[in-house]
Chains A and B, each alone.
Chain A
Amino acid sequence: MSDRVIDRVRAANPAPATMTTDEALFARIVSLPGDPRLVGTAKRGRLRMRTRGVALIIAAVMLSATGGAFGLGAFSHDSPKALFEANPAGPFPWRPGQGVIVPEVIPSTVRLATTFTVPGVGRFQLWVALSRPKGWLCTAIRQPDGTYAGLPSGGSYQLAGPMPGCGMLGLQDIRGFDYWPSSIGSADGREWWVAWGYAPRTGHPVEVRDEVSGIIAPIGDGRYFAIAIPQTRPGFRLQTLDAAGRVLVTDRFDTGH
């Protein structure tokens, strides 16, 4: 078979690629957080070795001290998958007269959506998963010590918010923001807003910005974000930005006092 047919299709290319340079876009993108596996790889490698050693010692001490006691601390150190399968949030009411929804996590969809740092407190993780019936999101905030925010045994942190589990956020509302606002104090006495959820898909958003403080957080998987904002005002104003820095959607959260 001749390649003439390929050549003919090639010649009919309605939009041939051109060499494009966009220095502003390049600068904008590299100002965003890069791949953590590459930036400062050598330095982090050494740090990780030390941290892992300390973590192993702590784990050994905790195991010998607790004797594997469970109960009040159930779920507190489970894997995110086990946590979602246990679903501490439980069923939730649907429309009046239509009973409750008992969401069930789809295990293959459990993943780390993004991380965020609260200065003076530590790095937190937002874990997400899809669930059945379709359209409901499972979310959990894993705290720096491995415990989960919102559980009665939530470690030594005071990050408020919903019980982790499925049904906390609805994926149907794809046009607007859908997030949980919370707050936490840091050791130096400062208070922080923390918001996590998913961003509207209007346009091609790559990051969320608080217009008031200027703080920016990346959007993971094209949907999920988590951001810590200093509480200098009663509320915050979230915006999605595309890769060129254009504002796509704005959403205001105001406590009113």
Chain B
Amino acid sequence: MAHESRDRALVEARFAGVFGHLGLITAYARRRGARDPDALAAETMAIAWRRLADVPSDDPRPWLIATARNLLLAEGRRRRGVSVGDLDGVDLAALPAPEVELDAEIEVALRALSAQDREALLLVAWEDLTPAGAASSLGISAAAFRVRLHRARRRLVYELEHGPRRHALDNRQPSLEQL
């Protein structure tokens, strides 16, 4: 009995370290346009509790973000009326549009990036992940991530410096289609 309660306390202590990132996941869900960011973050944490052995204890953020992203993609599929049986791969372009206010120039420039490049850049800039952590979150190699991030940076610089001002802010879409 004493062993069980001690084990339980250890497991809960380990989960507390994961649960400390609730704010990060809520913010991630909000930025990526979740319908109910708080509920999505709570579900992410519930999954982490059920699969705690899979959650890296040194830095759980990449695992949590990958889980939240999968929930967002599932939410996007439901919004579009796609059967839950259609589970072919991870389509970052299917992430729902954000419902947050964003600097207009940055928004236009980010929209010019591919969904994959944009996610790579935002994982570093907004989620504050290291390149290794971001690569882990996306399930790709660190080398592949560096290429993706480099491409995203280069394209973003170009867009910010020479980007078509024709996306004049008056004419831009009400929300990002693919972010």
Contacts and interface: CB of A to CB of B under 8 A. Distances in A.
Interface of A: 1, 5-6, 8-10, 12-22, 25-26, 29-30, 32-35, 37-43, 109, 130, 134-137, 171-172, 174, 201, 203-204, 206, 218, 222-223, 242-244
B11 A204 contact: no
A34 B50 contact: yes
Given A5-B153, A206-B42, A242-B42, 9 more contacts: A16-B27, A29-B45, A29-B46, A32-B50, A35-B52, A43-B7, A171-B84, A204-B36, A243-B42
Contacts of A223: 84
B172 interface: no
B22 interface: yes
A203 B84 contact: no
14 contacts: A6-B121, A15-B31, A16-B27, A17-B26, A17-B28, A20-B26, A32-B46, A33-B50, A35-B52, A38-B11, A39-B8, A43-B3, A174-B84, A201-B74
A59 B161 CA distance: 72
A203 B3 contact: no
Interface string B127-154: 0100000000000000000000010011
A16 B30 CA distance: 10
A16 B122 CA distance: 12
Nearest to B49: A29
Contact of A17 (B3, B23, B103, B156): B23
Contacts of A12: 102-103, 106
B153 A6 contact: yes
Contacts of A9: 106, 110, 121-122, 125-126, 156
A162 to B, nearest CB: 19
Interface in B113-130: 121-122, 124-126, 128
Nearest to A16: B27
Contacts of A13: 31, 125-126
Nearest to A137: B85
Nearest to A11: B103
Contacts of B11: 34-35, 38-39
A5 to B, nearest CB: 5
B121 A204 contact: no
A61 B86 CA distance: 45
B71 interface: yes
Interface string B1-43: 0011001100110111001101110111011000010011011
